[in-house]
Each structure stands twice: as structure tokens, then as C-alpha cells.
Amino acid sequence: MGNTNYHYFQFKEKHIKDAQYIFKNAFNYIVSESFIKNKYDTSHLGIESISTIAYDKDKPIAFYGAIPQLFTNKKESFLIAHACDSYTLSEYQKQGLHYNLALKSYEIMQQNNVKMVYAFHSENTFYSTKKLNWKEHENLVRFHIKTKNISSSKIYNKLGFNNILHTKALKLLRPYLIENTKNPFFKTNFFHQKYHSEFYNYKNGFNNHFLIEIEGCIFYLKFNSIINVGFFDFDTEQNFKLGIEKLKILISKIGFNEILFQVNFHSKQHDALLKIARPFPSWLVGYLSFDEKINISEFRFNFADLDTF
């Protein structure tokens, strides 16, 4: 499918500058070489890159990004892939590049015993996977909790002064920082991404995160113009209510006035949030299985599983 003169390669470190070129020229998306390197360096899982890149002779023209993730339940563990980036230069669009890069990535995934590939889809990205025989799972649910304070974080974010926010956040959150905790779904029989020290080290390689414990509640935070909660856990709903109120006070002091949660519909986190905020539909989880034994209903996903979290 598409122009047979194009060349498709497994993405490696030597291709980082070319990927940077594609990101910049496809959507004016400027990222550093270190960001790309750290994001796609999944050596902690013992697996080489499962992403792919395309060239027209020596010119980089398209990129398909996917990240392996270790999923587990109480009985077994295996790798699945999170498809996250797809960029094609405008003059090369509608020539089958996304399709062919995806197929090559799927070949690499299966060679590495990756059981499934999934993504958090917008309407546009799910449409692009239809030709690749992807299936629908269900939507995550998002909740917005706001404080009454005026937000200075959005101004800092717009001006590129996130380092100021990070310094303030580190100072205020330091007493609550913890080093490690398991995925909340660890307590269930569902497959979930394994959160361990290597996972947190990997995430911190290209984004600033704060793993904190307040009033017996655990929150995994990332911020831009608002506070994003990758996952949270609690013992009782009373602990959760106390933890949320304390978190609202802390983020207000930093300069934020909004917290965003994105959770699985079938979870105690969803049920707890439903009592204090209004739900909205979020990303659709789409997937393509390479193993007939995979049952998507046995999987649970968190906001923290997203590549950009």
C-alpha cells in the first residue's frame, strides 16, 4: 500500500534527529533530542524500540511511535504496547505511510512477544486505525475539580516559566513525597501496568512528577497549566475526601486552581469521584490483539499509562 519506493526502519537512537525533524515539520511540534531519547528508551524492560520511521531516499518523512509496557495480574506478566505518536509530513500524507509504518511496528512487536497494542483515542486517531482492524474497548471518564483561587499556573505555563512552578511545588510537596507505590489495580485480578521504581524513573526522564501521600491517600501528579492525576488510591472514602481537600489547599498555594482526573469507569476511584464532581467522557481505548487469549475486559488502564503523562 502506498509508494513502494519509501523505506521503513525500526526506530533507533541514530534516528532521533530525524524524528525531531518530522515532529517539527509535521505539526510545528518542537521537542528536544533528550526528550525523544528518554521517552523511547525502554531498556528497563529489556526490549529494543518497537517504533518505526520512514524515509524518502535520505529524507525523514513519517514516524510511528509505540512504547512497550509491562502488564501483570496476580498470575502472570507480559508486554503490551502503547501506540502514542504518528506524524507524517504534509506533502506525504494519504500515501499509506501510517499504515505501512504501523504494520512494520506490529511485526517488531510480535517478534518481541508483545501481546497487544492499544491507544487512548480521539475521534480522528481511532478512524486512522480502522484500516488496521483495531477494535473498540470503552472510554475513560474525566473529572475536573476546581478551587476558588485565581490560577497563576496558566500564565507561567504560557510564558514557559514552569521551572518556577516546579520549584514552588517541590518546596510545598516535599513533606508528602514518597518513592514508590504499586498500581491501585494491584489489589484486583485485572491486568494493569506494573508500577515499580524503574517505571517511575522512566517517567521522570522526560516529565516532572510528584508521587505523594496525604491523609492516607496516594496521588501521582503531573502539572502543566493544571494538575493532572495519573492515578490515586485510598483505603476509605473518608480518607479520600480528606486527601482531596488537603490537595486542593496545597495546589492553590502553588498557583493551580484545577485538578484533572481520568479514570476507568469500573473502579472505586470513579465511584468516589462521582460523589464530589460531574463526570465527562474522555478518551476511547482502542486495541489490536496479537494473541487470541487476550480478553480486553480483563485490563484496566490509568491516566498515568498515557505516554505524555
CA dist 226 and 258 (Å) reads: 5
pLDDT digits (tens, 9 = 90+) for 143-169: 999 988 766 766 666 656 677 778 888
Q: What is the pLDDT of residue 148?
A: 80
Backbone angles phi, psi at 283, to 5 degrees: -60, 145
Q: What is the pLDDT of residue 5?
A: 84
150: DSSP letter: P
Interior angle at CA 197, CA 174 and CA 298, nearest 5? 115
Work out whether strand 52-56 and strand 59-72 pair parallel, antiparallel, or are unpaired.
Answer: antiparallel
Q: What is the CATH number of domain 7-114?
A: 3.40.630.30
CA dist 261 and 229 (Å) reads: 5
* Fold observed for domain 140-282: Aminopeptidase (3.40.630)
Which parts of the chain sit beneath pLDDT 50?
none
Q: What residue segments make up the domains of the chain, in order of their start?
A: 7-114, 140-282
Check for a shared fold between 7-114 and 140-282: yes
pTM comes to: 0.92
Give one DSSP letter per residue of 81-114, joined into a string.
EEEEEEEE-GGGTTSSHHHHHHHHHHHHHHHTT-
Grid cell 502506498 is found at 2
